[in-house]
Amino acid sequence: MYRLSQLWRTSTVRLTATFILIFVLFAILLLAFITWQSSVQIQRQQTDDIDREIRQLQRIESNQGIRALAFAVERFSSRPGPGVYYLGDAAGQYLLGNVTQIPVEALRDPGVYSFDYEPANPVADDGETDDRPPRPGFAVVRSVQLDNGMVLVVGRDVVERRGYSAIIVQSFLVGVIGIILFSVVAGGITARRVLRRIDAIRDTSTKIMSGNLSERVPITKRNDEFDGLATNLNAMLDRIEQLLQGLKEVTDNVAHDLKTPLTRLRNQAEAALRDGASDQSRQNALETTIAESDRLIQTFNALLMIARAEAGAPSGALADVDVSAVVADVAELYGPVAEDEGITIETAITPDVHLHGNRELIGQAMVNLLENAVKYAKPLAGPAGRITVGLRQADGRVIIEVADNGPGIPPEDRKRVIERFVRLDVSRTETGSGLGLSLVDAVTRLHGGTFTIEDNAPGVRAVMDLPGA
């Protein structure tokens, strides 16, 4: 009973019940109309036959006389079928026909009448007189008075017509009951299948909520709308699992990156508070504390900027930006820094390139790319370091590239290095927080573009693919 009530609460069963009701009502109206039209058509045909035979008998009486009329009525009466014939004298007394009793009003006042009757001489299908008792009938007749004063009654037995109508009604009732039963069964099967798919999604979500993040919604080979929904849900679950895994890695990296400077801060403060510490040592401790605090502030500022970029730019923060000028300014700014490290910066910037974006964020992304390039562009051996900064347009897109000839990044790490706090320097000897490329990726996605790291053979090439103005 609970299962039935649960099925009834599903939208599929309710929609099926609604369609069944609409279909049954339509079927009732359609079959009722067909039955009525059939009855009217049969009645009209019988009326036409009666009128035609009356006109025929009237012509016989007018052209050939009473004897020919009597012969014709006798011949019509002896034929098998639903015909009803009666010929009476001027007083209405029976003379000929297959019906002996006619209501008085039909004989007195010509017109159309209906009444029960008993055939006078039942005739079998082979034309012989039937010895069986006459079968009561119900006739619809038209009575007329001939020119010689005699009364002629011609009609049809409508019992068969009533039987035909009854057959139609019975067939209609059987059809309606069959439609209802079939629809209920089909609706129940459909609802059970739908409910089974929904139960699979619910069971999967229950397992995921219990902590099993590897569970996925099963997908069938039918490729229906539920499979489409399951595919999207599974893609969402994959993304959530990746985010949670990334959050775990970020938490571990934050703990590692923040623990070291905080420990150094504590040690410097403790050393400055020791008895006998000189003023110079205390001053050095304070300077170190300020430097470590600045690095921590930079880390949190980078995290805040990434969060703002991922949240989307506020209204009015995006405008037309001369990205050529931005890239050229940052490259010029880092020229002396790279020169101090023995690295040459080369530029290939297409002038007067514009896009719709945030100048400050694009500039910060360029700063991060060049800082990374200067830090890691020193080749292990061979020629001097070289950084190439490029800006070009292609198919309505703005392509910003920063390439170097350093040791490069292994292919399996090129996507991972974009994540927060991920640093390929496991020993953490190089300065930095591992947030630079994460910020570049967030800024690129904010502007509707994609950020990739490619092989430069040797070195790497960082590519920001942005939509043009």
For residue 445, what are the contacts with CB-CB under 8 A and spacing of at least 6?
A: 309, 310, 451
User: Which pLDDT score is estimated for 426?
Assistant: 47
* Angle made by CA atoms 88, 94, 95, in degrees to the nearest 5: 75
State mean pLDDT over 128-152.
Answer: 76
Q: Check whether 448 has a pLDDT greater than 70.
A: yes
Q: Check whether 430 has a pLDDT greater than 60.
A: no
State mean pLDDT over 242-261.
Answer: 69
State mean pLDDT over 148-175.
Answer: 80
Number of Cβ within 10 Å of residue 392's Cβ equals: 13
State mean pLDDT over 435-450.
Answer: 85
Among 85-94, 163-172, 284-293, which is the least confidently predicted range? 163-172
Q: Check whether 150 has a pLDDT greater than 60.
A: yes
Distances (CA, A) of 364 to 329, 330, 336: 12, 9, 18
State mean pLDDT over 166-186.
Answer: 78
Q: Check whether 317 has a pLDDT greater than 70.
A: no
Q: How many residues does the chain have?
A: 469
User: Which pLDDT score is estimated for 468?
Assistant: 80
CA dist., res. 208 & res. 405, Å (int): 46
Burial of 433 (0-12, 13-18, 19+ CB in 10 A): buried
State mean pLDDT over 343-361.
Answer: 88
For residue 245, what are the contacts with CB-CB under 8 A and spacing of at least 6?
A: none
Q: Global pTM? A: 0.47
CA dist., res. 407 & res. 410, Å (int): 9
The structure tokens 């009533």 sit at 162
User: Which pLDDT score is estimated for 7?
Assistant: 58
Among 17-31, 372-386, 388-402, which is the least confidently predicted range? 372-386
List, as own/partner pairs, every contact residues 194-203 make where C-beta atoms lie below 8 angstroms and the sequence separation is at least 24, other chains included.
194/10, 194/12, 194/226, 195/6, 195/7, 195/10, 195/12, 197/226, 201/229, 201/230, 201/233
User: Which pLDDT score is estimated for 381?
Assistant: 57
State mean pLDDT over 392-410.
Answer: 88
Q: Exposure string (b/e) for 227-262, b if CB count within 10 Å is 16 or more?
A: beebeebbeebeeeeeeeeeeeebeebbeebeeebe
User: Which pLDDT score is estimated for 326?
Assistant: 92
- pLDDT tens profile 52-65: 999 998 888 888 88
Q: Check whether 309 has a pLDDT greater than 90.
A: no
User: Which pLDDT score is estimated for 428?
Assistant: 47
For residue 397, what are the contacts with CB-CB under 8 A and spacing of at least 6?
A: 449, 465, 466, 467, 468
Q: Exposure string (b/e) for 131-154, b if CB count within 10 Å is 16 or more?
A: eeeeeebebbbbbbbbeeebbbbb
Task: Report residue 102 as tokens.
Answer: 């006619």
Share of the chain above pLDDT 90, in %: 9
State mean pLDDT over 281-291.
Answer: 80
The confidence band for 328, taking pLDDT boundaries of 50, 70 and 90, is very high
Please name every residue paired with 143 in a beta bridge, in sequence order, or none if there are none: 111, 153
The answer to whether the CB of 300 falls within 8 A of the CB of 362 is no
The confidence band for 315, taking pLDDT boundaries of 50, 70 and 90, is very low
Quote the crossing angle between the two packed helices 359-376 and 279-311, to the nearest 10°.
120
Tell me the one-letter amino acid at 363.
G
Distances (CA, A) of 111 to 98, 144, 266, 281: 19, 7, 124, 136
The answer to whether the CB of 215 falls within 8 A of the CB of 207 is yes
Tell me the one-letter amino acid at 416.
R
The structure tokens 């009803």 sit at 84
User: Which pLDDT score is estimated for 126?
Assistant: 52
CA dist., res. 395 & res. 291, Å (int): 46
